[in-house]
Amino acid sequence: MADKRLDEATNTETVGHEWDGIEELNTPLPRWWLWTFYATIVFAIGYVIAYPALPGISQASEGMLGWSSRGQLDAEMSSAAATRAKAVAGLADLPIEQLPQHPQLMRAAVAGGAAAFKVNCVQCHGAGAAGSKGYPNLNDDDWLWGGDLKTIETTLIHGIRQPGDDATRISLMPNFGSDGLLDAGQINDVAGYVLSLSGKEKKSAATQRGAQIFADNCAVCHGDNAKGNRELGAPNLTDAIWLDGGSKAEVAAQIHHPHHGVMPAWGERLDPVTIKMLAAYVHSLGGGEEFAAPVAAEAPAADAAQETD
């Protein structure tokens, strides 16, 4: 029998083990502790039986309850769809111009549009809709084809220069350089003139010559005052915004052999409600035009205490 005795300080029996003067006291765990441990094992076995758990070659065991993460996802997706449907009910029948009269619906549409934008539009226009060279920035107030709700919706449905869509809008700027309509010196002059309109280039003899070239070749589309023509998607050349770059070389390159962007016709791929929501979102980015008088003074519904910080 090992050297069993009572520990002086605690009056507890020792088990007889000692290391460097430290003795092990016999302090048994309560038995319910053991049973609790057994219960967790039983629970784990039950869990493995009830839920998918055991890995197989191609698939895990299915579990008795028939639960699967995919099934749960489906359920959540359809409940989200139902919620969305409720929020935008009526959007299908509402002409988009009347949307601002329904602030509640408008808010829901903008929110839905933001989500749809992330799926369909960011590839070209960027996550913040700021575009990039050749791809319009949708936040600014410069619109090639028009920036009111209705026009944005039309652009979304039929696209721009979309082959196969009868209602798509097409405009093609001639290849002034590559087709030999203007020589390099003329192109340089007219580029200088165009830049001088927004103060980016000083007026000079060259811009004088460019003005004449512009009047002869460009004014037909861009207008006598170069303010553009939305019927033709001809950009305003007097403002600060340059779709294809505002340096002289970039402007000259565009005159030499213009780049023509293509916007897909989303009417073939997205349902009308989604398109309306996208239009509302794009319009809401800060450059939207013809926003019918400030929305009724109705106090915006407190976006509820739920979504507090």
Partner 1 sequence: MNKPVQIKAQEPPVSLYAKREPVFNRRIDGKFRRIKWAIMALCLAVYWITPWLRWDRGPYAPDQAVLIDLAHRRFYMFGIEIWPHEFYFVAGLLIMAGIGLFLVTSAVGRAWCGYACPQTVWTDLFQHVDRLFDGDRNARFRLYKAPWTASKIARRLAKWSVYLAISFATGGAWIFYFADAPTLHQEFWSGTAAPVAYGTVLVLTLTTFVLGGFMREQVCIYMCPWPRIQTAMLDEKSLIVTYKDWRGEKRGSLKKAQKNPEEYGDCIDCNQCVAVCPTGIDIREGAQIGCITCALCIDACDRVMAETGRPRGLIDYATLEDAENEKAGNAPTRHMKLIWRPRTILYFCVWAAIGLGLLFTLGTRVHTGLTVAKDRNPPYILMSDGSVRNAYTLRLRNMQGRPRDMEIAIEGLPGAVMWTEDMAREAAARSLVRKVAADATQGVRVYVVAPAGSTDQSFDFSVQAVGEPGEADSSQAKFDTPGGE
Give the residue numbers of the binding site: 121, 124-125, 173, 218, 221-222, 263
Please report, as ranges, the residues that interact with partner 1 according to CB under 8 A. 1-3, 11, 15-18, 21, 23, 26, 28-34, 103, 106, 110, 126-130, 137, 139-142, 198, 236, 239-241, 284, 286-287, 291, 293-295, 299-309
Q: Residue 306 has what DSSP assignment?
A: G
Q: Helix, strand, or coil here: 105?
A: helix
Q: Which is nearer to partner 1, 141 or 216 (CB)?
A: 141
Q: Which is nearer to partner 1, 94 or 111 (CB)?
A: 111
Q: Which is nearer to partner 1, 81 or 292 (CB)?
A: 292
CB of 287 to partner 1, least distance (A): 8
CB 159 within 8 A of CB 263: yes
Q: What is the DSSP string of 246-300?
A: -SHHHHHHHHHS-----B--GGGTS-HHHHHHHHHHHHHTTT-----SS--SPPP
CA gap 17, 25 in Å, rounded: 8
CA gap 152, 134 in Å, rounded: 18
Binding-site residue set for heme c: 121, 124-125, 173, 218, 221-222, 263
Q: Which is nearer to partner 1, 205 or 304 (CB)?
A: 304
CB of 246 to partner 1, least distance (A): 10
User: Which secondary-structure segment (H or E) carries 211?
Assistant: helix 205-217
CB of 302 to partner 1, least distance (A): 3
CB of 73 to partner 1, least distance (A): 22
